[in-house]
Amino acid sequence: MIPELNLNALNARDPGEMAVLGRAVREIGFLTVTGTSLSAARVSRVLDLYRAFFELPAADKRPVDMVRTGSNRGWGAPGSEQVDPGANPDFKEVFDCGYELPTDHPLASQGLSVYAPNLWPSIPAEFRCEIQDYYAEALNVGRQVLAAISDVAGDDPFGFDGAFDAPMALLRGNYYPERPNWAGAKDFGIAAHTDYGCLTLLAMDGSPGLTVQMPDGSWQAIDAQPGVFVINFGEMLEMWTGGRVKATLHRVVGGANERISVPLFLNPSYDTNVAPPGAREPILAGEHLSRRFNETYLHLKSKA
Ligand SMILES: O=C(O)CCC(=O)C(=O)O
Ligand SMILES: [Fe+2]
């Protein structure tokens, strides 16, 4: 079973809830959370806006195609990302937007691609405003869950305080069409992967598709209605905590239904040292994340 938690109880540091959180983080690496400031109606609106964007003809999406950029902002066409080198590029399409550094921030003048400028489509008209608002609130929710995890893991084990001030947080819309009839054994909506960063706050439209590898190796389905968030952890947090937080494999094979999901990938500031406890050399969060982006987005592979 995937543990089901409530953010109000976590924020109150309810001992029973914190104990469940601790087990979820160590053993399964997936949980669901309700009781956030993001209502079902608001999440549904966001899902509908992504759907309206993805339904546009490709010619209308091309002006914001990330292939035109040296970064991962904007539309990623089907086949633009390969998360598992042993599988074919994923058949999903995506839209990515990220954190906009204040112009006077010390990192702003460095031209770092993890803080690249966002690209916004002109249709749907409300897309930019509504998605930016959702981004800010999802970031807020993600930070609250991370703070609880930091407490449950004890003694600020991953330097939570201050590390997320200029977060390399990426908000993505994933669109999975129904599984194409040409799809073979190496084709997936998104192939098996662990997320690259720290915490993923994932909204979905209630349709089935996501499966998660359990400690016994079996694949368990998770679907959540808008307003319920699936949370999982990435490679960076697993490394940073010396394995106290588990990054769990997951995938979407794809089926008879189309599906939209909206993950917020929460990562610390570029210059955060995310090396495991006791490591001799620092590992910069921004370098780690850039390397994983360069390995997986086809248009960035030449930088890998
Ligand atoms: O669509 C989903 O439910 C999962 C998406 C996912 O794993 C990802 O975008 O990293
Ligand atoms: Fe993922």
Q: Which residue puts its alpha carbon closest to atom 8 of ligand 1?
A: 263
Query: In this predicted structure, what is the pLDDT of residue 190?
Result: 98
Closest ligand to the CA of 211: 1
Mean per-residue pLDDT over the chain, rounded: 95
Query: pLDDT band at 152, cuts 50/70/90?
Result: confident
Q: Which of 96, 261, 265 to mutate to test the pocket of ligand 1 (most atoms within 8 A of CB)?
A: 261
Closest CA relative to residue 245, chosen from 154, 149, 168, 164: 149
Q: Which residue puts its alpha carbon closest to atom 9 of ligand 1?
A: 263
Handedness of CA 205, 124, 117, 39 (dihedral sign): negative
pLDDT exceeds 90 at position 303: no
Pairing verdict, β 30-34 and 4-6 = parallel
Domain 4-303 CATH class label? mainly beta
Query: In this predicted structure, what is the pLDDT of residue 157?
Result: 62
Query: pLDDT band at 162, cuts 50/70/90?
Result: confident
Q: For residue 148, report the distance from its CA to the centre of ligand 1, in Å.
A: 23
Query: Tens of pLDDT along 90-132?
Result: 999 999 999 999 999 999 999 999 999 999 999 999 999 999 9
Query: In this predicted structure, what is the pLDDT of residue 153?
Result: 78
Atom of ligand 1 nearest to the CA of 232: 7
pLDDT exceeds 90 at position 41: yes
Q: Which residue puts its alpha carbon closest to atom 4 of ligand 1?
A: 210
Q: For residue 234, report the distance from its CA to the centre of ligand 2, in Å.
A: 8
Q: What is the DSSP letter of 254?
A: -
Are the C-beta atoms of 168 and 113 separated by less than 8 Å?
no
Give the largest CA-CA distance in the chain.
53
Query: In this predicted structure, what is the pLDDT of residue 304?
Result: 78
Are the C-beta atoms of 16 and 4 separated by less than 8 Å?
no
Is the bond preceding 124 in cis, omega lying within 30 degrees of 0? yes
Are the C-beta atoms of 232 and 30 separated by less than 8 Å?
yes
Alpha-carbon gap, residue 150 to 161, rounded angstroms: 9
Q: For residue 185, report the distance from its CA to the centre of ligand 1, in Å.
A: 19
CA dihedral 197, 134, 294, 181 (to 10 degrees): 100
Predicted structure pTM score: 0.97
Query: Tens of pLDDT along 9-18?
Result: 999 999 999 9
Domain boundaries, the chain: 4-303
Q: For residue 193, report the distance from its CA to the centre of ligand 2, in Å.
A: 6
Alpha-carbon gap, residue 184 to 206, rounded angstroms: 25
With a cut of 0.90, is the ipTM above it? yes
pLDDT exceeds 70 at position 155: no
Residues 6+ apart with CB under 8 A from 32: 2, 3, 4, 5, 222, 224, 228, 229, 230, 231
Per the structure block, which two tokens stand in for 52?
Answer: 């309206």
Mean pLDDT along residues 184-203: 98
Mean pLDDT along residues 129-138: 98
Mean pLDDT along residues 69-86: 96
